[in-house]
A and B are shown apart, each in its own frame.
Chain A
């Protein structure tokens, strides 16, 4: 090895260099750059700018559900003729997205789509992004309202609740005893949906809700609760399970019981866990939003923002590709639409 006599000079020089960066100050801020200066008057919806630069940020890399959402985001970006980059943290802690947002700002995309890990931890960084002219669209999981222009919500609680009753009503001819197999007794989501289910049931005077059972989002407990329901209510016509754990456990029990085909089952489930039961006739139809569409819509909303077609105010409309047209609601919220229904005909088109 060689002798190095005066390393300190190098170090001092480095420190000076670092300070020099620091002293550069903020004078290199350009308002917005990005490659989005070519407005193309082509491709159907004419006014969306071509060549927009999109970044989408999941809560965490490697989550299959989110990968589908961001796949939808990317699909929309391709349709819009933009470029897409997926940037995400390796853990889902409250602040893990902040450094990535900070670096993303420096890359100056036109649109940042984000599923926030914590609504407020990311807010200061996102507000900085807005200051640099980046349009922030939250989807899947909202961030503080003043830190984004639009939030794409998968579906409204009311619609989710009411739709499940409608699906079941179709299957049992709008009459008979029904039960609900929920998650835990204090689960906020499920309780909100059940509230709207009760509302919707008022439209079906011949359907009677006899019991709300709780499977605690535990596979075994949900399985046993299903068994209990069928024994306690021999005239039971249908079960709604608004939880992916519950519906698959209930389906598993039903598929091997003699009530298979007699008791209808619906609720919220994923196509992959329910495919078997739809094919063997245990379940006719169930629902869930399509995660790919959530991302798809977010990209279209971002493109409309970046093309100055909308600003995120209530009542503004924008084209959303294959999804048609969407309207911005209160607090910049855009609702994807009614949940997607999955049945024998379409279930093989979905993989999540």
Chain B
């Protein structure tokens, strides 16, 4: 039972207790930071703890939040996709162009998602079949897809989408303060959570991230799985492109610049190891809440420049990569090297050692 449970649902207390603890600690840390941000935010502005803040902060983060979910899986598999924001822009541009051409939105949206999936497949192909590092590939396609977006639509922006759709993307769910986009996010979060934590596919993703050689020798179709991860990432980014276009009632090639940074920050801050093999969707969701709270608190505070949002996010990103590494090194220095691995393919930060002193 123990191993089973850990694999299927990370939040269930289970046999690989140490792994659970480590994971737990990380998420508790993020949650604590979230609370701290709330306290600081409220002290900076009395408007912080309001329904308005929740609505707008989550609405403003919608696209990044969606992209972070699929990106988390890519990172768990020890790859990265930096082209997500450019796929978002390309999707927005394609949407604009097809709308100008007179197609109905109901048809345009699946086409956009297909375009995103294709972009992802292209990334995946370069990474798996040509054996190129995903960092380099997706930096390349970051420029390439953004460029394509400008080719498709140029400097124009298209704004005459049907109000029924734009209201849906901009509005709140049934009279609550929860934006509709967050409902979409919640559905996808559950879907990706189940996919990663409760399916053989998810298990394979962890296995590949932990040790790609071992995964290959145990018969996993590594290339195929990785391509699928990139395809999903592209498709979700394209979905985010549709959301941002409708939410702002504007489709343009320059939307979402720099979103990839925030998405990666959310994933890494959420405890997904940048070296692969470790992480949970719950952590990513918590990290998104933290990022949203940080953005909101800094923009609500009087006289704090928006440069600070970038500075804080950048610092957190570095901190969340550095933190686990320092902990590991400190442990190694104390000589308590891990002697056995948990059945759950954990690596690096997840060294399941040490009855704590």
Question: Do A and B interact?
Answer: yes
Please, how many angstroms separate the alpha-carbon atoms of A2 and B256 in the complex?
41
- Chain B residues with CB under 8 A of A22: 51, 54-55, 176-178
Please, how many angstroms separate the alpha-carbon atoms of A27 and B27 in the complex?
32
Closest A residue by C-beta to B92: A94
Contact B244 A4 (CB under 8 A): no
- Chain B residues with CB under 8 A of A28: 50-52
A61 on interface, CB distance cutoff 8 Å: yes
A11 on interface, CB distance cutoff 8 Å: yes
- Chain B residues with CB under 8 A of A119: 159
- Nearest chain B CB to A85's CB is how many angstroms away? 6
Contacting residue for B257 out of A21, A29, A93, CB 8 A: A93
How many A-B contacts at CB < 8 Å in the complex? Answer: 150
Contact A121 B166 (CB under 8 A): no
Please, how many angstroms separate the alpha-carbon atoms of A85 and B286 in the complex?
32
Contact A21 B53 (CB under 8 A): yes
Contact B299 A103 (CB under 8 A): yes
Known: A22-B178, A61-B307, A94-B255. A103 touches B56 (CB 8 A): yes
Please, how many angstroms separate the alpha-carbon atoms of A217 and B176 in the complex?
52
B219 on interface, CB distance cutoff 8 Å: no
Contact B28 A93 (CB under 8 A): no
Contact B175 A121 (CB under 8 A): no
A218 on interface, CB distance cutoff 8 Å: no
Known: A22-B51, A102-B59. A95 touches B255 (CB 8 A): yes
> Among residues 128 to 180 in chain A, which have CB atoms less than 8 Å away from a CB atom of chain B?
144
- Chain B residues with CB under 8 A of A14: 31, 34-35, 286, 289
- Chain A residues with CB under 8 A of B309: 90
Closest A residue by C-beta to B357: A1
Contact A98 B248 (CB under 8 A): yes
> Among residues 60 to 106 in chain A, which have CB atoms less than 8 Å away from a CB atom of chain B?
61, 85, 87-96, 98-100, 102-106
- Nearest chain B CB to A204's CB is how many angstroms away? 37
DSSP class of A's interface residues: helix, strand, loop or mixed?
loop
Please, how many angstroms separate the alpha-carbon atoms of A4 and B25 in the complex?
7
Please, how many angstroms separate the alpha-carbon atoms of A33 and B175 in the complex?
24
Contact A8 B47 (CB under 8 A): no
Contact A124 B248 (CB under 8 A): yes
- Chain A residues with CB under 8 A of B307: 61, 90
Known: A99-B299, A103-B299. A94 touches B54 (CB 8 A): no
Closest A residue by C-beta to B282: A11
Contacting residue for A8 out of B24, B303, B306, CB 8 A: B24
Contact A106 B60 (CB under 8 A): no
Contacting residue for B252 out of A21, A90, A94, CB 8 A: A94
- Chain B residues with CB under 8 A of A1: 25, 356
- Say which size band chain A's interface belongs to: 35 or more
Closest A residue by C-beta to B11: A8
Known: A4-B21, A22-B176, A24-B177. A99 touches B50 (CB 8 A): no
Closest A residue by C-beta to B159: A120
- Chain A residues with CB under 8 A of B249: 120-121, 123-124
- Nearest chain B CB to A147's CB is how many angstroms away? 11
- Nearest chain A CB to B146's CB is how many angstroms away? 11
- Nearest chain A CB to B331's CB is how many angstroms away? 10
Known: A106-B47, A124-B170. A93 touches B31 (CB 8 A): no
Contact A99 B56 (CB under 8 A): yes
Contacting residue for B254 out of A24, A93, A103, A107, CB 8 A: A93
> Among residues 8 to 33 in chain A, which have CB atoms less than 8 Å away from a CB atom of chain B?
8, 10-11, 14, 18, 21-29
Contact A87 B51 (CB under 8 A): no
- Chain A residues with CB under 8 A of B21: 3-4
- Chain A residues with CB under 8 A of B50: 21, 24, 28, 106
A7 on interface, CB distance cutoff 8 Å: yes
Contacting residue for B256 out of A26, A95, A102, A120, CB 8 A: A95
- Chain A residues with CB under 8 A of B54: 18, 21-22
Give the size of the chain B interface in residues (CB under 8 angstroms): 56
Contact A94 B254 (CB under 8 A): yes
- Chain A residues with CB under 8 A of B59: 102
Closest A residue by C-beta to B34: A14
- Chain B residues with CB under 8 A of A91: 257-258
Please, how many angstroms separate the alpha-carbon atoms of A81 and B50 in the complex?
30
Contacting residue for B28 out of A7, A120, A124, A144, CB 8 A: A7
Please, how many angstroms separate the alpha-carbon atoms of A29 and B50 in the complex?
10
A118 on interface, CB distance cutoff 8 Å: yes
Contacting residue for B53 out of A7, A85, A93, A106, CB 8 A: A106
Please, how many angstroms separate the alpha-carbon atoms of A263 and B12 in the complex?
85
- Chain B residues with CB under 8 A of A100: 299, 306
Contact A93 B302 (CB under 8 A): no
Contacting residue for A94 out of B25, B49, B60, B250, CB 8 A: B250
Q: Most chain-B Cβ atoms within 10 A of its Cβ — which of A8, A27, A103?
A: A103
- Chain B residues with CB under 8 A of A103: 56, 296, 299-300
B310 on interface, CB distance cutoff 8 Å: yes
Contact A87 B306 (CB under 8 A): yes
Contact B52 A106 (CB under 8 A): yes
- Nearest chain B CB to A119's CB is how many angstroms away? 8
Contact A85 B258 (CB under 8 A): no
Please, how many angstroms separate the alpha-carbon atoms of A16 and B346 in the complex?
30
- Nearest chain B CB to A118's CB is how many angstroms away? 6
B128 on interface, CB distance cutoff 8 Å: no
Please, how many angstroms separate the alpha-carbon atoms of A61 and B307 in the complex?
9
Please, how many angstroms separate the alpha-carbon atoms of A29 and B289 in the complex?
24
Contact B248 A94 (CB under 8 A): yes
Contacting residue for A90 out of B27, B244, B310, CB 8 A: B310
**B contact residues vs A (CB 8 Å cutoff):** 11, 21, 24-25, 27-28, 31-32, 34-35, 45, 47, 49-56, 59-60, 157, 159, 166, 170, 175-178, 244, 247-250, 252, 254-258, 282, 286, 289, 295-296, 299-300, 302-303, 305-307, 309-310, 356
Closest 7 CB pairs of A and B: A102-B56, A103-B299, A120-B159, A121-B250, A99-B60, A7-B24, A7-B28
A-B contacts, 21 of them at CB < 8 A, read A1-B25, A3-B21, A4-B24, A10-B31, A18-B54, A21-B51, A22-B176, A25-B51, A25-B176, A28-B51, A90-B307, A93-B254, A93-B257, A95-B248, A95-B256, A99-B60, A105-B52, A106-B50, A106-B52, A120-B250, A124-B248
Other A-B pairs beyond A14-B286, A23-B176, 20, CB < 8 Å:
A4-B25, A10-B32, A14-B289, A22-B178, A25-B51, A25-B177, A29-B52, A61-B306, A85-B303, A87-B299, A89-B306, A93-B258, A95-B256, A96-B257, A99-B295, A99-B299, A106-B50, A106-B53, A119-B159, A121-B252
